Structure 1
């Protein structure tokens, strides 16, 4: 018969229990996994399966009683670390959502909003389309596999029990500014094109006041906006690939990885 001491049992439980919390925290905000259409049971079971799979090869966690207050603190720390890692990747989808919102406003489609009851948000039509495209492209680039690899490697780079005080939280805050900057960078070509169209209609309205510019301008602005999106969309995959690389690199550096 096999005989295990209390320390050995706690060690075996800790090898799965603590990684489960970090992986579950990452799944809560990571693209595709955090989608409301993915059932919570699937997320929990997948996190538990990955924790069971990688737990035996991870560094030895600290021997902590799972029923103590210290164990509860470590569990919250692992959830926070995983959630912050997933938040960095979730900004990729927010970039495309803001891009679609900017383009919709320029085309006069700001009121065309689609309700997403699964995620509890409202998206512009173009924004929702951009988010779906970004998710599929992220999966096509195997970004989800790279992200899972970084989460597993984080247990070596940032061992369990290291806390969250020493994490580069300022870098995470700066990523919010990066999100707005990248969305504006992607939207500038189409926005400038639509600005020139609006200026042209303004000049036409001044030179020919009797012409009904509003009935003519709205369909033309929408049509020219679609042409601008088509032209901008041709270079979007390459730019979005660079953004995915930047986000994954930032995710790796956040837990102490080298650039």
Structure 2
């Protein structure tokens, strides 16, 4: 049965479009936290779907679907959004991992604060670099590429069942392993300098036994770590820009593999 002025096939197409848009908007790191209410996310998704639906209409099913077929397509759209959200959060997870390692080496192992995005306790340095990464994400307008990726996703992957029989799982594993490599890259400059500092302090402790190296190491490690983080901020920003640009390409590539 059609609604007034709205054919059933177009209504089903719009709801499929809305399901994918909601999933993709919820996957954007800037919108993923609990600081943005569900009403704002749903309102943004509804308005975005209304604007993009004419461009997506050629890729939506033309015939009316049964309730079972429609339900399966909705589940696939939400699952697709969850996979994209996983890829989107990998860069931030790598940054958080690197910040946690740096914090432990600096002596901030017990300094944890509440993260409103993940609703978890994170180390102080991890939260600090997470905020830097989020500011870089917004300043580079990467969140706008997600809206372009929505239309591009329909060209690469129209509504249909996901196919995990190809290389999609292997691609996900590759991206997950890349996350740990990226975390080490973020923490490597600080870790190297702190290792050299501890080596020098160990030599001083052997030469001057009366020197209290344990007390001296705390302010020295903290100061050196912050100094290195400040000096390498431009390089860190360049790495983040490269990873954010690659992230959109990885999302589209995975959609192609899932088709």
Q: Give structure 1 stretches of 5+ with no counterpart.
A: none
Please report how far the alpha carbon of residue 124 of structure 1 lies from its aligned counterpart in structure 2 after TM superposition. 1.4
Partner of 2:51: 53
Q: SS state of the match for residue 255, structure 1?
A: helix
- The yes-or-no answer on 1:93 pairing with 2:99 is no
Partner of 1:79: 78
Number of equivalenced pairs: 253
Q: Give structure 2 stretches of 5+ with no counterpart.
A: none
Query: 1:54-91 deviations in whole A, cap 9, x for unaligned?
Result: 1122124223447x122211111000112212221221
Partner of 2:211: 211
CA separation of 1:45/1:164 partners in 2, compared to 1, >3 Å: closer, same or farther? farther
Contact 1:64 1:70 in 2 (8 A): no
Please report how far the alpha carbon of residue 166 of structure 1 lies from its aligned counterpart in structure 2 after TM superposition. 5.3
Contact 2:9 2:65 in 1 (8 A): no
CA separation of 1:117/1:246 partners in 2, compared to 1, >3 Å: closer, same or farther? closer
Query: 1:147-187 deviations in whole A, cap 9, x for unaligned?
Result: 22112210111000143435623212221111110111121
CA distance in 2, matches of 1:77, 1:64: 18
Q: SS state of the match for residue 110, structure 1?
A: coil
Partner of 1:38: 36
Please report how far the alpha carbon of residue 41 of structure 1 lies from its aligned counterpart in structure 2 after TM superposition. 1.0
Contact 1:28 1:86 in 2 (8 A): yes
Partner of 2:153: 154
Please report how far the alpha carbon of residue 30 of structure 1 lies from its aligned counterpart in structure 2 after TM superposition. 2.0
- The yes-or-no answer on 1:126 pairing with 2:125 is yes
Normalising to structure 1: TM-score of the pair? 0.90
Q: SS state of the match for residue 19, structure 1?
A: helix
Partner of 2:101: 102
Contact 2:33 2:116 in 1 (8 A): no
CA distance in 2, matches of 1:164, 1:96: 31
Higher helix share: 2
Normalising to structure 2: TM-score of the pair? 0.90
Please report how far the alpha carbon of residue 207 of structure 1 lies from its aligned counterpart in structure 2 after TM superposition. 2.5
Q: 201-210 or 173-182: which moved more?
A: 201-210
- The yes-or-no answer on 1:115 pairing with 2:114 is yes
